[in-house]
Amino acid sequence: MAEKSSPFKVIIAGGSLVGLTAAVALEKAGIDYVLLEKREIAPHLGASVSIHPHTQRVMEQLGVWPEIKAAVVPLETRQHYDENGFLFEDSSILKEISKMTLNRWTTFMERRFMLSCIYNQVADKSRTRAQTGVASYTETEDGVEVITDKGEAIRGDMLIGADGIHSTIRTLMADHIASTDPEAAKEMRSGFVSNYHCIFATSKNAKATADGKPFLPDGAVHNVYYSGFSGVIAAGVPGLVFWFLFVKSDRTTYTPNTPRFTEEDMETTIAKYGDHAVGPGYTFKDLWESRVRANMLPLEEGVLKPKWNSGRVVLMGDAVHKATINPGLGGNLAVEGVVHLMNELVPLVRRCEADGRRPTKSEVTAVLDTYEAKQRPHANTIVTMSGYVTKYEAMETWWLRLLRRVSPWVSDKTKAGGFVGYINEGPWLNYLPNPDNERLTEKITEKQ
């Protein structure tokens, strides 16, 4: 009797939203993996992340949503202010979106909190290794071998580069193809552009004054529009607000040479823009003085043009598509990519296991090609739309300024319908129960 082949194993580089979601999705499917994160898991960076209804559905499937739900509130109202403090649009679009998506939410939370919630669903924590980066990899017909920055060799059948905009795996992939396709290698190293930068922060939802009055009610969002800069603040967690100051940069830069900002740079930016109001009765400076954590980064954007895989190695998330953060869709897009990949990979691995063999390199590559074919159109849509929203909020052109004046005349239901059309196309993990079925049953029961 022939010896049964060893289990299919995935190596994940990066404990990001993509990396951790992929880890839990693989574990739910019974597929072996190891996750390598060069820093700590879920670090404190001051960053926040939004969840839209189609991502909530995936988090429900993975068992992550109950912990998130217990700590956040749904965003329901969105008020838009012009540069003179005039409320020109009081929108209930978020409520309309919820109604159209089986009462799922849009909400904001600390990025660290969401990563922790996903990590808490990892049953076998020994599969995740913090403080362990990738130094190099070698790909063969039979598998892929990673050498860590500690000199350890790890073998697997496939490598996922989920290590962000400054992806080590993408750089290594560029090195691998440089001799045969120098143009693609160059594009991999410099394929993202930045025209804006942003202070993003978490603050206490109260002014740093004796009265401690909240900036805005829980579940509310404020947008403010100025020429060349803009701001968003959202109260998605009781007691906290997540806010952004978006500023048009004085020059266009490209990865890997986008700027690195310091605490002094943030102080200078607040000194320049801090006295401008974000909502009624408070300014960027007020938010800054109530901050818990803050950071400042360039807003890179783009979709990597070269192929996203090199056989057994594939790039995902910010490593291949980076959207500006104004509409809060980048993280949701990243989760879509995980679902598209898993929906192809899991059936392949299960078919091969039933046959007592491992997937061949050509079979793995075909899965990765299909993932890209499904994900790339979504990436193009979200990256393009996000870029327009960034320009729109900073009133970059005359026609965007005109659009801002027209927007209040379009009904919330109409605007919500356009976005819900995209949400309804969002994929779900087809090897796990679809929670929509339970929600539809509840909805029918409520009507009876």
In the block, residue with structure tokens 């929509």: 436
Record the pTM.
0.94
- One DSSP character per residue, 73-114 reads ----EEEEE-TTS-EEEEE-HHHHHHHHTTT---EEEEHHHH
| pLDDT band of 4, cuts 50, 70, 90 | very low
pLDDT digit string (tens) for 249-308?
999 999 999 999 999 999 999 999 999 999 999 999 999 999 999 999 999 999 999 999
pLDDT over 70 (residue 163): yes
pLDDT of residue 207: 81
Residue 173 pLDDT exceeds 70:
yes
pLDDT tens per residue across span 123-136? 999 999 999 999 99
The predicted structure's pLDDT at residue 399: 79
Higher pLDDT, 213 or 248: 248
**CA–CA gap between residue 191 and residue 70 (Å, rounded):** 39
Residue 127 and residue 256 in contact, taking contact as beta carbons nearer than 8 Å: no
Residue 319's nearest CA partner among 192, 193, 199 is: 192
pLDDT digits (tens, 9 = 90+) for 182-200: 999 999 999 899 999 999 9
pLDDT surpassing 70 at residue 315: yes
Nearest alpha-carbon partner for 427 in 381, 362, 388, 371: 371
89 has a pLDDT exceeding 80? yes
pLDDT of 1 strictly over 60:
no
What's residue 212's pLDDT?
80
pLDDT at 446: 54
Tell me how far CA of residue 216 lies from CA of 97, 230, 248, 273, 350, in angstroms: 21, 17, 26, 20, 50
Mean pLDDT of 56-63: 98
We find that the CATH architecture of domain 9-192+302-447 is 3-Layer(bba) Sandwich (3.50)
Contact yes or no for 237/117 (Cβ under 8 A) = no
d(CA 97, CA 326): 18
Give CA–CA dist 129/118, Å, rounded: 15
Q: Decide if pLDDT at 97 tops 60.
A: yes
Cβ-contact 18, 338 below 8 angstroms: yes
Give the tokens for residue 160: 């996922």
Per-residue pLDDT, 188? 94
pLDDT band at 2 (very low <50, low <70, confident <90, very high): very low
Residue 244 tokens read as: 């952004």
pLDDT of 243 strictly over 60: yes
Task: Report the share of the chain in percent with pLDDT over 90.
Answer: 84
Residue 443's pLDDT band, with cuts at 50, 70 and 90, is low
Question: What pLDDT was estimated at residue 415?
Answer: 86
Burial class (CB in 10 A: 0-12, 13-18, 19+), 27: middle
Q: What percent of the chain has pLDDT over 70?
A: 96
DSSP per-residue letters across 359-408: PPHHHHHHHHHHHHHHHHHHHHHHHHHHHHHHHHHTT-SHHHHHHHHHGG
Q: What local confidence, expressed as pLDDT, does residue 441 receive?
A: 59
